[in-house]
Structure 1
């Protein structure tokens, strides 16, 4: 039984989304007082089409990154903890470069991305998060500390309701997440990662229900998520059945044509 279903879902979900343009490692320990990075990302190729079609997520995939998704709104303590992971990672990279007698380059440094369902103005102001210029193309809901820190925060509830940003809104809460799930149903059956996202949502739903006996007070958002996921997965199963029937029909037609040719040759 999965103890923290949302954490597991977020890690596997981000791993699925970010695997095309790079290498993804989840639950990675960093040195010092051992702290676990939720998702580490290393781009292996710069795919222009991926960056363009995936919008905000594509821009995030352009650099080495540490991604820390939060199910509940991030607190000041949570931000501090994430920054410590970033600094520990930087120190580890510097030590590795020294051991190998190599020059440490700034481009090797990861970008820290904090994903939070909501973020209050007071919290953002207390850390000095800034809104990027419109010309930078990040869109609303994205905030940064000063450039030297390499820290970005995404307030998911503020993100635009566009198809390419739907994938990040899937990690929101309540109506934001439910809206993203609804939008996923409108995607073409053969859309990249659609089937895998549905499977991960179904696994999340199953884990939430499996945890109910030990936590019988499943909150309203969890119940609504379960209810929203069930018809989605049923639709996915129906599509799979239809696809299987179509493939069987195609194979039958092909066999019939082949048998006809063999008879003609006789």
Structure 2
């Protein structure tokens, strides 16, 4: 199954699940403020610049305090929860989205570089609000600001279907304090949760996340969803998104996994 078809489904699926519990943004540019999409080195002023230029004046390859123009990166889903609304009906997904967060659902088992990319998006987002990125034509002094408690509560949720243990090497990943199999944390400074869907317990609280898995794990969750007798609008919304995904898949080429998934959906829709 191609990533675009899954990503379209994952974004719309998360949008309908979370939209009643806060503000949700799809394909959101990071930095969010257009003025912050030009990065300037914070040490471009001061004695350090003159000192380094003097030392390296005969080396034309050295650039001292250059301006670096950077394009905004798009994050798949950005969610800002309404703290006055309970998310208990979302189970584990609701627990992991209790603060403003970037949600990055991946269709494949990520390698180290893909994990680093996710982390870089999150760090850019937090640097923006902390004043770590200097707006165009402004100085560091002009944008100096105190960090707010709201900024400190920003988090990131990376959702992956499975993981190889060696992919966690070097990241300092540990099982989450919430003590649920399949939920891991990066070191606290990164404020990042990683959910490995294939390791989650099979129960109602993990259903919404397991639907974002792949293979047998995903198909089992879809069957649970359609066979459930629970009277909850979320179930109807999720079924509608799966029906739309089914119609979308009919229009393109399908691999072996997609064909098996289509058979499951066709028997339920």
TM bucket (normalised to shorter chain) is 0.7 to 0.9
CA distance, structure 2, for counterparts of residue 99 and residue 176 of structure 1 = 52
Please say if 1:230 is aligned against 2:258.
no
Specify which of 119, 144, 166 is matched with residue 122 of structure 1.
166
- Output one character per residue of 1:128-179: Cα deviation in whole Å (capped at 9) or x when no partner: 20012xxx33401011111111111110100010012111000000000000
Using the TM superposition, give the Cα deviation of residue 106 of structure 1 relative to its aligned residue in structure 2, in angstroms: 4.4
Alignment of 1:126-205 (within 5 A): 126-132=170-176, 136-188=177-229, 190-205=231-246
Residues 157 and 194, structure 2, Cα contact 8 Å, conserved in 1: yes
Residues 112 and 168, structure 2, Cα contact 8 Å, conserved in 1: no
Moved runs in structure 1, 4+ residues, more than 4 A? 96-102
Alignment of 1:15-54 (within 5 A): 15-31=15-31, 32-48=70-86, 50-51=87-88, 53-54=89-90
Larger relative contact order (C-alpha < 8 A, sep ≥ 6)?
A: 2
Using the TM superposition, give the Cα deviation of residue 61 of structure 1 relative to its aligned residue in structure 2, in angstroms: 2.0
- CA RMSD in angstroms comes to 2.2
Cα separation, partners in 2 of 1:100 and 1:19, compared to 1, 3 Å: farther
Specify which of 93, 99, 103 is matched with residue 146 of structure 2.
103
Residues 56 and 138, structure 1, Cα contact 8 Å, conserved in 2: no
Structure richer in helix, relative to its length? 1
CA distance, structure 2, for counterparts of residue 105 and residue 3 of structure 1 = 37
CA distance, structure 1, for counterparts of residue 84 and residue 227 of structure 2 = 28
Using the TM superposition, give the Cα deviation of residue 115 of structure 1 relative to its aligned residue in structure 2, in angstroms: 0.5
Using the TM superposition, give the Cα deviation of residue 60 of structure 1 relative to its aligned residue in structure 2, in angstroms: 1.3
Please say if 1:60 is aligned against 2:101.
no
Count of paired positions: 222
CA distance, structure 2, for counterparts of residue 68 and residue 192 of structure 1 = 24
CA distance, structure 2, for counterparts of residue 117 and residue 223 of structure 1 = 18
